[in-house]
Amino acid sequence: MKKLMICLMAMMGTLALSAQKVYDFKVTDDAGKEVSLSQYKGKVLLIVNTATRCGFTPQYKELEELYQKYQAEGLEILDFPCNQFGQQAPGTIQEIKQFCTANFGIQFPQFDKIEVNGADEHPLYTYLKSQKPFGGFDLNDNLGKLLDDMLRKRDANYDKNADIKWNFTKFLVSRDGRVVKRYEPTDKMPDIDIDVQLELNPTLATRKR
């Protein structure tokens, strides 16, 4: 009976998560103000956990280029610095913002630092991971192979859970709040660009069929 109750509770929790949308969450912006993500209804979102001292930090430049290319069509990039991976996002959010502005001219919204895994993970990330779990690195990519080797040495079964694996993991969210895709940091920006185009202009997908 106890096992049945635990199973039912787990199922209810899963159903509750699946019934939610990104708009149900509140976050803290870079000025310490609480913000409801409902203000982004109708936008295509790319949600990313970032770091300023990571080998992938130059992706800030690619993200800003993507933002400038599609903001007018309805794209918003939501940046959540996270210090959980090699402590590569040190400093305050103000220091991080200053670094990003000076080095990459970032214009997209940056939010306060959060945790994306573990007991103190932000509920937004609990939800995102429930919708799109880890799908694996491209092992034909040198960086993908490097990350896989590094993480597997720490945990042979690291790929069996939905945790965020490293900095610059991204989630693509449709205009109606559905999490449609997850990208690992080794995924290429041109591929993300194509997916963003298709979410912004669904008729393009129809034409390609």
Q: Considering 7, 54, 82, 100, which one is annotated as catalytic?
A: 54
DSSP structural state of residue 110:
B
Residue 154 to residue 148: CA distance in whole angstroms: 10
- C-alpha neighbours within 13 Å on the C-beta side of residue 137: 22
Q: How many CB atoms lie within 10 A of CB 202?
A: 11
Residue 140 to residue 134: CA distance in whole angstroms: 17
Structure-block tokens of residue 57: 């930090």
| Strand 44-50 with 170-173, pairing | antiparallel
54 is catalytic: yes
Residue 137 to residue 60: CA distance in whole angstroms: 20
Q: List active site positions.
A: 54
